Structure formats: C-alpha cells, structure tokens
Amino acid sequence: MARHLITSAIPYINGIKHLGNLVGSQLPADLFARYLRGRGHEVLFLCATDEHGTPAELAAAKAGKPVADYCAEMHDVQAKIADGFGLSFDHFGRSSSAQNRKLTQAFAGRLHDQGLIREVTEEQVYSVTDGRFLPDRYIEGTCPNCGFEDARGDQCDNCTKQLDPTDLINPRSTISGATDLEVRTTKHLYLEQSKLKGQLADWIDSKGDWPILTTSIAKKWLTDGDGLQDRGITRDLDWGIPVKDGDKDWPGMEGKVFYVWFDAPIEYIACAQEWVDAGKGSDWESWWRTDKGAADVRYTQFMGKDNVPFHTLSFPATIMGADDNWKLVDYIKSFNYLNYDGGQFSTSRGRGVFMDQALEILPADYWRWWLLSHAPESSDAEFTWDTFTQDVNKDLSDVLGNFVSRITKFCRSKFGDAVPTGGTEGPAEAALIEELTRRLKAYEGHMDAIEVRKAAAELRAIWVAGNEYLQATAPWTTFKTDPEQAACQVRMGLNLIRLYAILSAPFIPDAAKTMLAAVRSDDADWPTDIAAALHALPAGHAFDVPENLFRKITEAERDDWAERFAGVRT
C-alpha cells in the first residue's frame, strides 16, 4: 500500500465553472483518487475554493453582499455541485481559512528570513472615487496606438498592442466609470524567484516522465526573455490575507494583502490542516512534511495548462525557498482546453455547459464518462452535442447498460432471480478470462500512468468483451438443448456485472453502485485474479434486475440543448 496525496487546481470563487474547467482538473483528479482507493492505497484528495482577489470583491459588490458572506455562499454552492458530480474530495477547503492565513504569513516570514523577499516601490493607478488601486485590467481608455476607445490597461483588444495603464488616453475605472484616476507610489514585496532559477531548472529537468505539456511550459517560463522573473506577492486590496512577517507585523506593509497567487497554492497545505480540524483526519503533517512521514508520499497535482506556470515554478519556488521540509510535487498532470462546438467555452458570454446546468439535464455519470473518455490530454478537445449524444448512448446505454439488462432479464426469465447452478466451463470461459486478465493489466497500466483516454478505451473494451462472450456462447440457444450449460454461461454473465461495477467505479461511480447493488454484493475489492473474481457470486446467490442503467438521450433533447447552451446565459 502506498500513500498518495492528490490535489486538483482550486477553482476561483466567483461563479460556477463550466465543463472545460471540470475536465481539466477536478474530474481527472477524482478519477485517479477513486482508482487508487479502489486498489487499496491510502489517499488524501484535496481541493478548495480560491477566494481572494479583486474579482471576488467585485462579484460580491455586484451581488450586494459583503465579500466574506459572498464567498461563504459561493463555497457552499461549489461544494454542492462538486458533490453532485461525485468529486470525492477528502476535504473541500477555502483559501480564506484561518489555517491558510496563518500558514501563508508563516511562509512569507520564512522566505523573508531566507533572504528571498525584497521590497519594491512602484507606481500604480489609484482611483479616488473607488478608493482603491486598480489592477491593469480594470482600467479602460482610448488606445494611443489605434484609437480604440475601450482598450484595457494591459492590452488593447482591438489592435492587440500591449499597454501600460498610464499609456491610455482618458483612462477610466471599469468598476465605477470614475475618471479621477491618479498615479500613486506604493510599496510591494517581491519573491526573488530568480535566485532559485537554477534549482528549479534542475528539478524540472529531472522530471523526464512528466507530460510534455507540463515541462514545455515550465521550461519556456524559465528561459524566455530574461528568464524567470521575480514576482510581486502583495497587493493593495482589502480582501485577502494581511501581509505579515510570520506572526509579526511587516513595517510599511500595513493595509496590504498577499497576492492571490501566493496564498492559493499554500491552501493545498492548509487544506490538509482544515481536513484535520474538521475531524476527518488526524495527522496532516505526515502528508506534507518530509521530516514527519511525507517522504514516502507520492504527490500528484492536476490542472489545466493555464495553471502550469504557477505549479511548476511559483509554488515550487515558495516550497524550495522556504527550505523547511515541505513536500514538493512528484507528478504534474496537465490538460489542454475543452472547446465547445467550434469555439471556446465562455463564462462571460454563457457559452457552453456549466456544471450546475449539466447536472440539471443529465446524471453525473453521463458527463463523467464522456468528459474523461475525451479528456484533452495531447491537444485541445472538442465538445459537440452530436458526438456527446452518440458516444454516451453507444458506450453507456448500448454496451454497458444493455449488457446488465440482457443478462439479468434473461436469467430471470429462464432461471429465476438467483445465480443458476450447473454446467461446466470450457474454452469460451477460458478465453474470456484470458482476455479480461490481459485487459485488466492494460487498464491498470493506463490508470497508473494517468493516461485517461486510454484507460477509458480499455475499460470500454472490457465491457465489450462481455457482450462478445454472450454472443459467442448464446445462452438463449444453449438453453434449448442444454439448460445446465446455459446456467454456467449466465453465471459468468452475472459475475461480470460485479466485476464491471468495481472496474468502472472510478469513471461512473453511481452506476457502479447500482450494479453492485443489483447483484447484492458488498465485495468491491479490486480483482487480482479474474478467474476468482468471476466466481465471487456463487450459485444460488440472489440478485435484482435493475432499472436500465442509462436511458438514451433523444435527438429532440440533443437539439434542444444545443440551442439552449449556444448563447447568452440566462
């Protein structure tokens, strides 16, 4: 038994995520966690909401609520939806937790002690009306380059020229529209990542088994331009973790908070503390401190490609810089984007399917199966209603669901609601066992390597093998001349249901539960021997004929949904 720490990139608090976000981190992380638990390993699977920063403040203001209340509410909303998708977090924490506040401040203090923090005085745009400094993207004005009137402070959307907020003509605040902007001097802390560049580069170079997407992005940031840049880790905001030097005040930093990207990854650690404080566990340090038991933990992170730089460089720089026995990540699984019907999912324009909507129209397993079997691993992938409907109907309803249906119903009609007795196994059964043994090994190999699509394809082939067996042995024909032999074939088929329940659980946990319940089994141990697993249900063991596992999606539904999710969200 090994110990596995798994984290999914933590979703930002303002709003409900779409399916592209889901398949890029939380869902494959859950797949991996469920698989490892199924195989008997010790797993700590953590996720949280990322709650600090300007967007949360603005979203709260828009909702007319104090930001802390807004975050608390949205955390519950996201937790409920995550639960709806069967995301099996051991704890779903909050980056605004007391644990994270203390830990983030402690990290800053430690990094300061290690000589990796410097103070930088810089000029930023301040909005008198809003009473706050404005991040670049919250300033708009006329582009000095092309005359476009709604150019943002960081870039002109019309001519794509990169801008500095002070370049804009007639700048205004996008928060209030205020034009009484002025440039003020402010002081911030910078994490001197550049000092760790060599150490980070050596570390990345040692990870030859990481996805090329992960390492290529990391190396690019390490070497691009002047190389890895020092990074500001504080902001002039109200909503965030107050800047402190450990538990001491930080002179000159009064009223400032840590930048959200500094405290968010630290929440991975703090979340383990929250897990303990919530009474779910007893020793978070054995997962995170290499001097306290975490040396033998394998830590795997899941994230979309946009998060890779922070997880390959920024957060490791924090860990390495602290030089205090914190656990570094062992494997980073990153994903490309899932596109929606020829374009991108768009949160702002409500284009595509969002997590809450998805659960409103279909059970979680449908989404889990399709998204995972089409995970954007090697390149961007595409969601279309046509392929979604086709694939789900074929794989889940026809291949798996119908298999369960045909064998249980046939057995009931000929033998009754219990596993039948009699008959002897022959070449067909031996061939089935040989094939499943081979495929199980391949399935495990792909799951161990977190090759999500390949694992899904192998699982599907395992389902197909059951239909092939039934087709080849044809118990409905055998029954006419040799009922005993037909009983043996049916017995095999019923045992396959239990096997499929166990192997499929990481992908489609709800259906797996239904299948296991149908054969009235509570033995969900991962099979080590297929032959033995196919004899787990003895003759005489009662079972139930379940409702159809997966109803089919109709063409009318497909067309209706395609139209409903094409445009502006209501």
The residue ranges that bind RNA (CB under 7 A) are 160, 162, 212-213, 216-217, 220, 224-225, 305-306, 336-337, 344, 374, 376-382, 387, 390-391, 394, 397-399, 401-402, 404-407, 409-410, 413, 453-454, 457, 460, 464, 467-468, 470-472, 474, 476-477, 548-552
In sequence order, the β-bridge partners of residue 142 are 169
Least distance in Å: CB of 380 to RNA? Answer: 5
Least distance in Å: CB of 467 to RNA? Answer: 3
Least distance in Å: CB of 230 to RNA? Answer: 14
Helix (H, G, I), strand (E, B) or coil at 162: strand
Q: Which two tokens stand for residue 488?
A: 């043996």
How far apart CA 208 and CA 147 sit, in angstroms, is: 48
In sequence order, the β-bridge partners of residue 48 are 93
- If the CB atoms of residues 347 and 397 are measured against RNA, the closer one turns out to be 397
- If the CB atoms of residues 160 and 424 are measured against RNA, the closer one turns out to be 160
- If the CB atoms of residues 73 and 382 are measured against RNA, the closer one turns out to be 382
CA distances from 182 to 129, 142, 455 (A): 11, 16, 56
Residue 406 phi/psi, 5-degree rounding, is -65, -40
Least distance in Å: CB of 374 to RNA? Answer: 5
Q: Where are the beta strands (DSSP E) in 209-364?
A: 231-232, 234-235, 244-245, 248-249, 257-258, 297-304, 331-335, 338-340, 343-344
- If the CB atoms of residues 233 and 375 are measured against RNA, the closer one turns out to be 375
CA distances from 394 to 277, 435, 439 (A): 45, 22, 20
Least distance in Å: CB of 55 to RNA? Answer: 16
- Find the angle CA(371)-CA(375)-CA(381) to the nearest 5 degrees: 100
CB-count burial class (<10 Å; 0-12, 13-18, 19+) for 41:
middle
159 annotated as belonging to a binding site for a ligand? yes
The end-to-end CA distance of the chain, in Å, is 49
Least distance in Å: CB of 407 to RNA? Answer: 7
- Find the angle CA(462)-CA(468)-CA(470) to the nearest 5 degrees: 115
- If the CB atoms of residues 41 and 137 are measured against RNA, the closer one turns out to be 137
- If the CB atoms of residues 39 and 188 are measured against RNA, the closer one turns out to be 188
| CB-CB contact of 215 with 207 (8 Å) | yes
How far apart CA 116 and CA 114 sit, in angstroms, is: 6
- If the CB atoms of residues 79 and 381 are measured against RNA, the closer one turns out to be 381
347 annotated as belonging to a binding site for a ligand? yes
Q: What share of the chain is helix, strand, coil (3-state, %, to 5)?
A: 50, 15, 35
| CB-CB contact of 257 with 234 (8 Å) | yes
Least distance in Å: CB of 474 to RNA? Answer: 6
156 annotated as belonging to a binding site for a ligand? yes
Least distance in Å: CB of 451 to RNA? Answer: 8
Q: Which two tokens stand for residue 72?
A: 């608390």
Length of the chain equals 570
Instruction: State the binding site for ATP.
Output: 347
Going by the annotation, the residues of the binding site are 143, 146, 156, 159, 347
Annotated binding site for Zn(2+): 143, 146, 156, 159
